[in-house]
Amino acid sequence: MADRRRRKMKGHRILAAIAAVMMLLATASPALADGIIIPDPPPIPMPEPIWLTIRYHRVTVTIEDQVATTRVDQVFVNEHEWEAEGTYIFPLPEGATVSSFVMWVDGEPIEGEILEADQARAIYEDIVRRRRDPALLEYVGRDMVRARIFPIPPGGERRIQLEYTQVLPVENGLVRYLYPLDTERFSARPLEEVSIHVEIRSPDPIRAVYSPTHQDRVFIEREGEYRATVGYEETDIWPDENFELVYTVSPEDVGLSLLTYREPPDDGFFLLLVAPGVEVEEGQVQPKDVLLVLDTSGSMEGEKIEQAKEALAYVLEHLNPEDRFNVIAFSSGLSPYAWELRPASEAGEAIGWVRRLEAVGGTDINRALLEAMAQADGSPTRTTGSERPTVLIFLTDGQPTEGVTEIDQILANVRAAAGANVRLFAFGVGDDVNTVLLDGLAEEHRGATAYVRPHERIDEEVSAFYAKVSTPVLTEIGLDFGDVVVTDTYPDPMPDLFAGAQLILVGRYRGDGPTLITLTGEVMGRRREFVYEGAFRAEGGDDFIPRLWAARKIGYLLTQIRLHGEREEWVDAVVELSMRYGIITPYTSFLIQEDLWTEGGREKAAEELVAMPTPAAVGAPAAA
C-alpha cells in the first residue's frame, strides 16, 4: 500500500510540475496591453528592461446603442534615481477613433499623435531593436497613439488621459466589449489601484450581463430593462488578463444566448446564458413562502444580533403582496413568530416582534430547521397541493451544541423533512461556524452559502442577497438541446430563475450545427416552454470557454471533497484539469512546494481544503 501511495505521489508530482511549466508558458504568451511608457535606456547599463511604476489605472466606459466610449486615466511614476525619458504608446482596438488625448506635464497639456498601422510598425520595431524586448512585437500591425515623454525627474509622475470610441457589433443578440488590461510586464511595481466602470444603455431589453474574465470580481447592477452598470476594482495588483464583458439583448420574456468552442476531434465546450427581464409584470411573479430561521444563542449577543435583526426587517419589508412568511428564532429552544405561515400584510407586526428578540442560550440547529421544514408547503407532513417556491434563509454564528449535534444526522433529518420546493440559503456569521454543515444544507437543497466575516455587516450581505431572489420567475428548470448531446454541465442541478438574475451554464457537447433549444420551467404551478434557435460550432469559436468550464468543474469537485471526504478519482480529476487548463488549486499549489513532496501532501491539502469556507456561488444566486 505504501509503495502504491509513493507511486501515486510521484505521479502527482510529475503532473504538478508539468502544470507549473504550462502555467508559466501560458503567462508568457502574447496578449494585448494597455497604454505604457517605454523608457529610453538608462544612463547606466541594466541587465533587464526598465519600466516606470503605474500608480493607478482608471477606466470609464459608456456603451450606448452599441457605441462604446472609453475614457482612460493613468498615472506613471519614476521611482528610479535618474531622469527618465521615453515614448508613450497606446495600441488602439481595431476600428477605434481617438477623440481626446492629453498628457499633463507640470500642469501643461501635451498633445499626442495618432499613427496608422504602417507608420506604427517602424516605431515598434525600432524600439524592440534598441530595448531587445520582443514582448512589444505584439503591437505590430495595429494603430496607436504616441507621445514623446519629456524628462521625468526621480519621484516625478506623468498623468495621461485618453478617450476613444468604437462600434461594438451584435452577433445573435450578443454584444462584446474588450479592454486590454495586461500590464504585468510593464510596471515596476504592482498597481496601487485598477478600476473599470461600465454603463450600458440599450434601446432593446438587456438580458444577461457577464464577464468571461472577471465575473467573480465584478459588481453588476441592473437599472430597469434598458440600463446596467458593471464595476470592477482592485488594489495592489499586477493585472495579467484583459477585461472582457458580454451582454445580451432580446425582446423575449426570457433571453437565451449560446457560445461554443470546439477543437476536432474532441467534444466541444459551451456557455449558455439564460436571463429573464428585470421588470416583471405582476401576473408573472410567482407567490413564494419565506422562512427566516435566526440563531439567537448567547454568542450572537451585541452587534451581531442587532445587524441580524436589521437583515430580517429588510426581508420582511420587501415581501411581494402574495407572499407568505414566518420567523423562527432559536437557541436552546424555539421561539417562532407564529406556528404557521402568515400573509405578507402582517410583516409590520413581525418586524416589531423581531426587534424585541434577545440573544441567550445554546444552539439547537436540528430542531429549528425541522420546524421550518414542517411549515413549508410540499413537506412530507404538510402537503396542500400548492407547493409554492419556498426560500429558507438560515442565519447562525456557531456549531450545534444542543439536541442533535452530529452533522450527518442533522443533514439526514433535514433531507427527510424537506419538500422538493425548498431552497435553503445559509449565512455563516463569524469564524466559528460549521462550514461543512452549512455547505451540505445548501448543496442538498439547491441553495447557496455566504460567510460574513467579523468585520463585515450581516444586514448588508443578507439584504443584497434577498434583493436578487425576491422575485422568482421560473422554477424546476429543464433544458433540451435537440439532436446535440450535452454532458458534464455545471451547475447541476440548475437553479431557479429570478427577475434580474441569470443562469450561467457550462458543459461539453457532441454533434454540431443548428438546433432548437427548449427551456422549460414552472410558473405558478403551470409548465411553460420557451424555444430558441441555436448553433453548435463544428470547429473554432470562443476559446475562453474550455478554461471556464474547467474552473466550474474543479469548483464542483472541490466542494464534493470538502463535504464528502477525499476520493482518489476526485483528486486525480482536479490535478488533471489543473494541469491541462493552468488553474491553481489547493492540491497543485501544495504539491509544487518543495517541503510538501511527501506522502502526506495530499492529506494536508485535503485537511486545508476541508477547513476552507466554500467560495461564493457564481452566476444566479440560487446556484448549487
For the chain, the domains span: 2-26+545-611, 31-249, 254-282+473-541, 286-470
Q: In what order do the strands lie in the sheet with 67-77?
A: 108-110, 97-105, 157-167, 67-77, 53-64, 191-201, 227-237, 218-222
Residue 25 predicted with pLDDT over 50: no
- The rounded distance, in Å, linking the Cα atoms of 339 and 325 is 11
pLDDT score for 518: 94
Residue 24 predicted with pLDDT over 50: no
pLDDT greater at residue 590 or residue 431: 431
Q: Which three cell numbers stand for residue 477?
A: 428548470
pLDDT in tens, 326-379: 999 999 999 999 999 999 999 999 999 999 999 999 999 999 999 999 998 755
Residue 455 predicted with pLDDT over 80: no
Residue 140 predicted with pLDDT over 50: no
Confidence of residue 118 (pLDDT cuts 50, 70, 90): low
- The rounded distance, in Å, linking the Cα atoms of 26 and 49 is 21
Confidence of residue 4 (pLDDT cuts 50, 70, 90): very low
DSSP letter for each residue of 524-535: TTEEEEEEEEEE
For residue 323, the SS3 value is coil
Residue 454 predicted with pLDDT over 80: no
Confidence of residue 9 (pLDDT cuts 50, 70, 90): very low
List all residues 6 or more positions away from 438 whose beta carbon is below 8 Å from its beta carbon: 394, 396, 426, 428, 449
Q: What is the mean pLDDT of residues 179-183?
A: 77
- The rounded distance, in Å, linking the Cα atoms of 192 and 183 is 13
Residue 431 CB-density burial (10 A; 0-12 exposed, 13-18 middle, 19+ buried): exposed
List all residues 6 or more positions away from 579 whose beta carbon is below 8 Å from its beta carbon: 15, 16, 18, 19, 22, 588
Q: Which three cell numbers stand for residue 327?
A: 420567523
448-452 vs 422-429, strand pairing mode: parallel
Residue 589 predicted with pLDDT over 60: no
Q: Which three cell numbers stand for residue 53?
A: 511604476
Q: Which long-range contacts (CB under 8 A, 24 or more apart) does 8-15 make?
A: 8/568, 9/597, 9/598, 9/599, 9/601, 9/602, 12/575, 12/587, 12/591, 12/601, 12/602, 13/591, 13/597, 15/575, 15/576, 15/579
| CATH among 3.40.50.410, 3.40.50.1820, 3.40.50.1220, 3.20.20.70 for 286-470 | 3.40.50.410
Site of grid cell 467579523 = 454
- The rounded distance, in Å, linking the Cα atoms of 121 and 445 is 58
Q: Cβ(148)–Cβ(161) under 8 Å? A: no
- Window from 54-68, 268-282, 501-515, 527-541 with minimum mean pLDDT: 268-282
> Which of 234, 186, 177, 199 minimizes the C-alpha distance to 50?
186
- Integer distance in angstroms from the first to the last C-alpha of the chain? 36
Q: Cβ(226)–Cβ(64) under 8 Å? A: no
pLDDT in tens, 219-258: 998 888 899 999 999 998 888 788 999 998 887 778 888 9
Q: CA separation (Å) from 213 to 43, 180, 490, 547?
A: 40, 12, 18, 10
DSSP 8-state code for residue 27: H
- The rounded distance, in Å, linking the Cα atoms of 246 and 326 is 40
pLDDT greater at residue 613 or residue 445: 445
**CATH number assigned to the domain covering 31-249:** 2.60.40.3680
Q: What is the mean pLDDT of residues 499-517?
A: 89
390-396 vs 53-64, strand pairing mode: unpaired
- The rounded distance, in Å, linking the Cα atoms of 49 and 36 is 13
- The rounded distance, in Å, linking the Cα atoms of 304 and 459 is 9
Q: In what order do the strands lie in the sheet with 206-210?
A: 170-171, 174-179, 243-249, 206-210
The yes or no reply on domain 254-282+473-541 and CATH 3.90.1580.10 is no
pLDDT in tens, 480-497: 999 999 999 998 888 888
pLDDT greater at residue 269 or residue 253: 269
pLDDT score for 285: 67
Q: What is the mean pLDDT of residues 265-289?
A: 80
For residue 360, the SS3 value is coil
Q: Do domains 31-249 and 286-470 have the same CATH topology?
A: no
Amino acid at 190: P
Q: What is the mean pLDDT of residues 584-609?
A: 48
- The rounded distance, in Å, linking the Cα atoms of 51 and 187 is 6
- The rounded distance, in Å, linking the Cα atoms of 76 and 36 is 9
Site of grid cell 424546476 = 476
Q: What is the mean pLDDT of residues 378-386?
A: 51
Cα four-point dihedral sign 180, 506, 499, 208: positive
* Count of CA atoms in the C-beta half-sphere (13 A) of 256: 20
Confidence of residue 287 (pLDDT cuts 50, 70, 90): confident
pLDDT greater at residue 34 or residue 433: 433
Residue 283 predicted with pLDDT over 60: no
